[in-house]
Copies of this chain bind each other. A is one copy, B any other.
Amino acid sequence: MDINVVNSLTYEDFVQIFGSVVEKCPLISAAVWSRRPFRDLADIETHITEFIHNLPDSGKEGILRCHPDLAGRDLQSGTLTRESQEEQSQAGMDTLDSTEILHMYRLNAQYKERFGFPFVICARLNKKAEILHQLSERLTNDRAAERERAIEEVKKICSLRLRNIVRCDIQTKL
């Protein structure tokens, strides 16, 4: 999608197209629309990152709490957003056996109990073994460090989703 097209979008179309680049947080894209005109897609990403960084810690934790568990209830029951479904599938989260699901469930539960938000990782950049390793390792962080670590993952997810919007657009044109 050409940046001039993006800059010409009404807020309604912009939120429709970019509203899920941060999971279940259309507020963020809707806010960033105020920053038009954008130089390029990276400029949109920068504004999103700035917006997130300027939130209080509670707001950053709020973003994390809008994310589903990895290999959790939403995946099992088919109620993930389209984006999360694709990402969790790519990381092999939908092909875990029952032992692996139980292991993931227990680690997720420990993590949520410790931090008060779910374990967030960019599933498209990690495979199953690495995700389990990261989940175990990050469980030992303190809350402030882990909040920032998880927000870094939100930014990676956002970055790939932004590029996916562009790629989808190119594919549609072909």
Chain A residues close to B by CB (< 8 Å): 10-12, 15, 24-35, 51, 54-59, 61-63, 65-66, 112, 116-117
Interface of A is mostly: helix
> How far is A33 from B28 in the complex, measured between Cα atoms in Å?
19
Contact B30–A61 (Cβ < 8 Å): yes
A sample of 27 cross-chain residue pairs with beta-carbon separation below 8 angstroms, ordered by A number, consists of A11-B65, A11-B116, A12-B65, A15-B65, A15-B66, A25-B27, A26-B66, A27-B28, A27-B63, A27-B66, A29-B62, A30-B62, A30-B63, A30-B65, A30-B66, A31-B55, A31-B59, A32-B58, A33-B62, A34-B57, A34-B61, A34-B62, A34-B116, A35-B58, A51-B56, A51-B58, A54-B56
- Determine the chain B residues whose CB is within 8 A of the CB of A57 once the complex forms: 34
> How far is A65 from B33 in the complex, measured between Cα atoms in Å?
9
- Determine the chain B residues whose CB is within 8 A of the CB of A54 once the complex forms: 56
Contact A62–B28 (Cβ < 8 Å): yes
Distance of A127 from chain B, by nearest CB (Å):
26
